[in-house]
Amino acid sequence: MKAHPAGRLIVMGLPGPELTDGLRDLIRRVQPGGFIFFTRNMAEAGQFHGLVRECADLVAHPTIMTVDQEGGRVARLAVMGERPASGEELARAGKEEWFYEHGKWTGKVMKLVGLNLNLAPVLDYAPTERAGIDNSLAGRCFGKNPKEVIRRAGEFLRGMQEEGVKGTGKHFPGYTFCGLDPHGDLPLVNRTRAEMEEELSVFREVGQRCDSIMVGHAQFPAWGKNSGPASLNRDIVTGLLKETLGYRGLVMTDDLEMGAIANRYGSAEASRQAVRAGEEILLICHNPACVEIARDALAEMPEKEWAGAVESVEKFGRTLFKPSDVFDKKGWKEVNEVTRTLREKVRGN
């Protein structure tokens, strides 16, 4: 039986470091647009490269292979090698050329294990007065104001993209003024549209250089009092990001299994609303059972509601590289040594 094209809109997570026969069958049936990987998938670098290759081989089209590899505490590949400096550490050091180096070596380490899209950079900023607020951003931002983030994120992207790895700006339209971590529940951001020009200035400037943009799970009453999460809000995804800011790259949700979404919507309803809002990629990061539920929900929608998104994903896929046939063990060791050296320079060691 031929897979439904709407499966291309899903980027799915996997539960462990190996594929079971059941997972292989699921992947063949759904033919997802890609895979997102976490530390639970990584025993060691050679094994992980093999897992990425196997996933690519099970899908009949070019496949997004992605991970959160920002640096610091959000650097999934560090479980198999060196942990890069965090955004906060780089910002504190203040040397602009180090952001470029950070991007370049991030791209190199990802490419060695077959990953072609990074869910970075973070385009939020960290004002001093917001320190200590648990909104998921601690240690992750490239600066304390929009101008710093615009310069530094641009350099990070330049370095990474030179290595052939694509970048994702996040978390649109901005988590800077969230008071909650969306992994647990839905934050409410009571900022006027005029006030939010600060956050939007980063996406307006450097966001256009990102290959994709991730829309966050926070509610912004300025775009509708009862509008729900930004990721499911057409006024924000299509109206603000695509029409007002003119963004033409791939647009994705944050993980639809986060508490901000899962506490309020099932996988089917969240997936339908996200596509209707204007996103082309839905992240379903943890439970494989939710993948088929989401695919079936999309397949029941009129073709005109998902066909444009599938076309965008196909176009994006044609620009992606495939995992190498053989894992470069020597290259992995060398890249991680440079990552360690850069981290120590940044920390002043």
| pLDDT for 227 | 75
What confidence tier does 131 reach under pLDDT thresholds 50, 70, 90?
low
Query: pLDDT averaged over the chain?
Result: 96
Q: How many residues does the structure list for the chain? A: 349
Lowest model confidence (mean pLDDT) among 126-130, 152-156, 220-224, 286-290: 126-130
Give 12-65 pLDDT, tens digit per residue.
999 999 999 999 999 999 999 999 999 999 999 999 999 999 999 999 999 999
| In the predicted structure, residue 180 carries a pLDDT above the cut 70 | yes
- DSSP letter at 46 equals H
Contact 12, 286 (CB under 8 A): no
| pLDDT for 123 | 97
What letters, b where the CB count within 10 A reaches 16 and e where it falls short, cover 96-114?
eebbbbbbbbbbbbbbbbb
| pLDDT for 349 | 61
| In the predicted structure, residue 132 carries a pLDDT above the cut 70 | no
Peptide bond into 171 cis (omega under 30): yes
| pLDDT for 135 | 75
What confidence tier does 2 reach under pLDDT thresholds 50, 70, 90?
confident
Burial class (CB in 10 A: 0-12, 13-18, 19+), 201: middle
What's the rounded Cα separation, in Å, for the pair 311 and 224? 29
For residues 205-227, give the mean pLDDT: 92
Tokens of 326: 């053989």
When comparing pLDDT for 44 and 182, which is higher? 44
Element of type H or E holding 270: helix 267-277
Contact 169, 213 (CB under 8 A): yes
What confidence tier does 161 reach under pLDDT thresholds 50, 70, 90?
very high
Give 61-110 pLDDT, tens digit per residue.
999 999 999 999 999 999 999 999 999 999 999 899 999 999 999 999 99
What's the rounded Cα separation, in Å, for the pair 189 and 173? 10
Vertex 252: Cα angle to 33 and 314 (nearest 5): 35
Domain spans, the chain: 7-347
What confidence tier does 225 reach under pLDDT thresholds 50, 70, 90?
low
Residue 197: strand, helix, or coil:
helix
Residue 201: strand, helix, or coil:
helix
For residues 98-127, give the mean pLDDT: 97
7-347 placed in CATH 3.90.1150.10: no
For residues 309-321, give the mean pLDDT: 98
Closest alpha carbon to 293 in 315, 323, 314, 271: 271
pTM: 0.97
